[in-house]
Amino acid sequence: MDDCNWKIERWTEIKEKVEPYLAECGYDINCDVFWIPISGIMGDNIKVKSAKCAWYTGPTLLELLD
């Protein structure tokens, strides 16, 4: 997400391109797949919600895993 300045349009584009592949692999997109915009380098949305993407209202990665 760092490379695209946290733009929701890029995040949506990635989801739309990857979802058909995951469905083809047998994943239920509505139950098995969760999308969280994160930055592994800066730690955004991993433990603490990031102010860089106020458009995302879901859980952080650790909240989801918990």
> Domain span at residue 24?
2-65
Of 50, 46, 38, give the one whose Cα is nearest residue 4. Answer: 38
> Is 61 in contact with 45 (CB distance < 8 Å)?
yes
Q: What is the pLDDT of residue 44?
A: 92
Q: What is the pTM of this model?
A: 0.82
Residues 57, 39: Cα–Cα separation, whole Å: 16
Q: How do the pLDDT tens digits run along the chain, 66 residues long?
A: 877 888 999 999 999 999 999 999 999 999 999 999 998 888 899 999 999 899 999 999 999 999
How many structural domains is the chain composed of? 1
- Put residue 48 in one of left, alpha, beta given phi > 0 → left and psi -120 to 50 → alpha: beta
